[in-house]
């Protein structure tokens, strides 16, 4: 009998970092559930690219900020594949308007927390409860990845809601890592820096100047989604088996303090 490929669920996988992660996992031999909310065409293209890599890309629409959608998404994964080896919490949104924290609205805050923090928190809870009762003969051992941001510790007063949500994700990774270690489930926080995506498009000129002229990052280039994808593959392929709750910086050295 042909050995079943491991299965990954990547939220927000139709574009940007999620797309890069999905394709990197496909290249590593994973079947991938390509979650999306709005752009079905883009999700379908990711699925087609996965098929070209010789793996399966299963498209599943769900808004992770909605409890019923989360439940339907996880049920779809298990109904389709019968297993889940890797959850990658990637889906997230930027603020609709960058507003000073002295003026920002509760509506924006609630939206940001719902998508960027509450959704991943409770999706992880839902998946973890499935993983702890898994068939332990499966290889590799299941893992959970939370994609956060340098905004987890970098204050941007014109998008405080985004920063608060990402800081919450950092603690979410630690909490689940501590709770699930006894079940053989490792949890990792991957912390991207300035990555070239649609989300960073509106501030491209500013970041170009900071990166190339102002020395913002020791590695003087933009990050790309593939950089994050490689970090996820390192986790997925068991290269960090004695680490959990670990922060993996993918930021060109932004986190370094230099004189």
Q: Do residues 190 and 225 touch, judged by C-beta distance below 8 A?
A: no
The residues with which 87 forms a beta bridge, in sequence order, are: 9, 144
Q: Do residues 145 and 85 touch, judged by C-beta distance below 8 A?
A: no
CA–CA separation, 163 and 185 (whole Å): 27
Concerning whether 162 is annotated as a catalytic residue, the answer is yes
Dihedrals phi, psi of 194, to nearest 5 degrees = -85, 105
Active site residue: 153, 162, 188, 207, which one? 162
Task: Give the C-alpha distances (Å, rounded to integers) separating 76 from 84, 130, 161, 185, 194.
Answer: 11, 13, 31, 21, 33
Catalytic residues: 162
């Amino acid at each position: 009998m042909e050995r079943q490929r491991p299965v990954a669920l990547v939220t927000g996988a139709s574009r940007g970092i999620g797309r890069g992660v999905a394709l990197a996992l496909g290249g590593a031999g994973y079947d991938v559930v390509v979650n999306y909310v709005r752009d079905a065409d883009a999700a379908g293209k990711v699925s087609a690219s996965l098929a070209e890599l010789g793996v399966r890309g299963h498209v599943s629409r769900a808004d992770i900020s909605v409890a019923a959608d989360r439940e339907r998404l996880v049920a779809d994964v298990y109904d389709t594949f019968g297993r889940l080896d890797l959850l990658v919490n990637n889906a997230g949104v930027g603020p609709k308007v960058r507003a000073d924290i002295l003026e920002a609205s509760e509506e924006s805050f609630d939206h940001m927390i719902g998508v960027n923090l509450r959704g991943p928190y409770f999706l992880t809870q839902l998946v973890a409860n499935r993983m702890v009762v898994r068939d332990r003969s499966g290889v590799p051992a299941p893992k959970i990845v939370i994609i956060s941001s340098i905004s987890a510790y970098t204050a941007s007063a014109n998008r405080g809601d985004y920063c608060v949500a990402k800081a919450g994700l950092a603690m979410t990774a630690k909490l689940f890592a501590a709770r699930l270690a006894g079940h053989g489930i490792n949890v990792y926080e991957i912390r991207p820096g300035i990555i070239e995506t649609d989300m960073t498009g509106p501030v491209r000129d500013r970041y170009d100047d900071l990166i190339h002229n102002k020395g913002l990052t020791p590695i003087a280039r933009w990050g790309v989604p593939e950089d994050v994808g490689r970090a996820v593959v390192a986790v997925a392929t068991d290269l960090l088996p004695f680490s959990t709750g670990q922060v993996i910086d993918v930021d060109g050295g932004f986190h370094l303090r230099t004189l």
